[in-house]
Amino acid sequence: MKDLGSTIYALGCVVAATILAVAVADYWVGHHQFTAFLFWVVMAAIPWLVGRAALYVLANATGDKARRIAANVAKLPELLRKN
């Protein structure tokens, strides 16, 4: 799952970099409107944040916490028999 998260994050970074390139080109070639540049920067942040969130969620989905939960669930019938 971590590989899928890394792939989604990398794709989000590529999309964000492309949007930032458009922002810089629009700023240099256009009428140098800083508010338009900021709009493009915010638009570039969205796919980056989505990719970052996917990386975080998918990396933690198979981590140590999941293994500990599975181990505790496996011990559950034994604990129930003792009580």
Tokens of 5: 């998260």
| Exposure letters 16-47 (e unless 16+ CB within 10 A, then b) | beebbeebeebbeeeeeeeeebeebeeebeeb
pLDDT, tens digit, for every residue of 20-75?
999 998 888 888 788 888 999 999 999 999 999 988 888 776 666 667 767 777 88
Total residues found in the chain within this entry: 83
Q: Is the pTM of this model over 0.75?
A: no
